[in-house]
Chains A and B, each alone.
Chain A
Amino acid sequence: MIGLAHYLVLAGLLFCIGLLGAVAKRNAIAVFMGVELMLNSVNINLVAFNRFLHPEFLGGQAFAIFVIVVAAAEVSVGLAIILALYRRKANTSVDEIDLLKW
């Protein structure tokens, strides 16, 4: 029988893959994809806890939808920032964008 631990392990694996993509990628768009993967794994956790611990109150699913809303807003603004950066510096590599680095 599939229990809560199965979904938690799956979400943890997904989170770690997303972390690898967010930390170790050179292209800013690929970094963004890693962040989206991490947000999705958190959503799986929310829905799984809701389903297996408190199935009568759907607060976990409501929070998953809030996370999706925030992720959509974040992606639109973030891709606009990447496009503005590309227009100014003509590349999207996070190694080159170090204007604020001490």
Chain B
Amino acid sequence: MLGVIFFYVFAAAVVVGALAMVLTKNLVHAALFMAGTFLMIAFLYILMGADYVGAVQILVYVGAISILFVFGIMLTKRDRIEDSNRFNRYAFPATIVAILLFVSILLTAIGTAFQNAPAPTGDSTIQTIADIFLSDYVLAFEFAGILLLSALVGAIVIGQGQLARKTRLRGTTTLEGSNGGEK
């Protein structure tokens, strides 16, 4: 019974936070609503017995990605922050498409008879997930590491500006020039 109440409370918080994120006109408020929505989704994971996924969600989404978004907002200047999150000219057709898609998902999800399994025992899932990562999905696990490394290098290369590239080049040339002068 408590699980039912928790589900409806967290689900309402998720939907309200997501709607506020999309509808607010202030981009910084949108980022904060996004962080709150991610936190409520993490609670939903824990409610489903997926404690490790919930912890990763809090660490990665709430802790890292939301802060990265705030950095992105702060590093790009705009005229007025109160009016920074407007809809474009496709707002009306996009709303129609979103509502139609939701209605179709709703009809499909309600109309399908799923065989709901009994609740899990409540053990920690970390041991099982670690076993899966290092046995069945070990190739995908290694590729995820390579992907993260390449994303790190790519973000540094793309994110450093023309100015940083020029000063670095100038630095190497002056260093070589001073070495040549000593000789």
Spell out A's residues near B (CB within 8 Å): 1-10, 12-21, 23-27, 29-30, 32-34, 36-37, 40, 43-44, 47-48, 50-55, 57-59, 61-62, 64-66, 68-77, 79-84, 86-87, 90-92, 94-95
Q: Is B98 an interface residue (CB 8 A)?
A: yes
Chain A contacts of B159 at CB under 8 A? 79-80, 83-84
In Å, the complex CA distance between A54 and B65 comes to: 30
Told that A51-B48, A51-B120 touch, could you supply 10 new A-B pairs with CB distance under 8 A? A1-B116, A6-B7, A12-B106, A21-B21, A24-B88, A24-B94, A26-B86, A50-B50, A84-B159, A94-B88
8 contacts between A and B (CB under 8 A): A9-B106, A24-B91, A29-B72, A43-B53, A53-B115, A65-B52, A69-B148, A80-B159
Q: Is B173 an interface residue (CB 8 A)?
A: no
B161 contacts A16, C-beta separation under 8 Å: no
Ranked nearest first, the 6 interchain pairs of A and B with the lowest CB-CB distance are A12-B105, A73-B151, A80-B159, A24-B94, A8-B109, A80-B158
Cβ-closest chain B residue relative to A48: B48
Do B158 and A9 have beta carbons less than 8 Å apart? no
B180 within 8 A of A: no
B-side interface residues, number (CB < 8 Å): 85
In the complex with contacts A2-B7, A17-B15, A23-B154 CB distance below 8 A: no
Query: Using a CB-CB cutoff of 8 Å, which residues 1-24 of chain B contact chain A?
Result: 3-4, 7, 11, 14-15, 18-19, 21-22
Contact of A10 among B14, B61, B125, B144 (CB under 8 A): B14
Q: Which residues of B contact A62 (CB under 8 A)?
A: 129, 132-133, 137
Report the Cα distance A13→B136, complex, angstroms: 32
Tell me whether A10 and B151 are in contact in the complex, defined as CB-CB below 8 angstroms, given that A2-B4, A33-B69, A68-B61 are known contacts: no
List, in ascending order, chain A residues with CB within 8 A of B136's CB. Answer: 59
Residues of B within 8 A of A71 (CB): 60-61, 65
- Of B60, B150, B152, most A-chain CB atoms within 10 Å: B60
Of the candidates A24, A58, A94, which one forms a contact with B125 in the assembled complex, judged by CB atoms under 8 Å apart? A58
A30 and B125 contacting across the interface, CB-CB below 8 Å: no
User: Across the two chains, which residue of chain A brings its CB closest to B159?
Assistant: A80
